[in-house]
Amino acid sequence: AQTVTQSQPEMSVQEAETVTLSCTYDTSENNYYLFWYKQPPSRQMILVIRQEAYKQQNATENRFSVNFQKAAKSFSLKISDSQLGDTAMYFCAFSTSGGGADGLTFGKGTHLIIQP
Partner 1 sequence: DTEVTQTPKHLVMGMTNKKSLKCEQHMGHRAMYWYKQKAKKPPELMFVYSYEKLSINESVPSRFSPECPNSSLLNLHLHALQPEDSALYLCASSPTLSDRRPNSPLHFGNGTRLTVT
Q: Which of 1, 28, 30, 42 binds partner 1 (CB under 8 A)?
A: 42
If one asks whether residue 38 binds partner 1 (CB under 8 A), the answer comes out as no
If one asks whether residue 28 binds partner 1 (CB under 8 A), the answer comes out as no
Q: Which stretch binds partner 1 (CB under 8 A): 21-29, 44-52, 67-75, 78-86?
A: 44-52
Q: How far is the CB of 23 from partner 1 (least distance, A)?
A: 12
Is the Cβ–Cβ distance between 112 and 86 less than 8 Å? Answer: yes
Is the Cβ–Cβ distance between 2 and 104 less than 8 Å? Answer: no
Helix (H) or strand (E) holding 67: strand 64-69
If one asks whether residue 41 binds partner 1 (CB under 8 A), the answer comes out as no
Distance in angstroms (rounded) separating the CA atoms of residues 13 and 84: 10
Q: Which of 16, 84, 101, 113 binds partner 1 (CB under 8 A)?
A: 101
Q: How many residues appear in the chain?
A: 116
If one asks whether residue 16 binds partner 1 (CB under 8 A), the answer comes out as no
If one asks whether residue 64 binds partner 1 (CB under 8 A), the answer comes out as no
Amino acid (one-letter) located at 86:
D
| Best CA proximity match to 77, nearest among 87, 92, 88, 57 | 92
Tell me which residues touch partner 1 (CB under 8 A).
35, 42-47, 50, 52, 91, 97-104, 106-109, 111
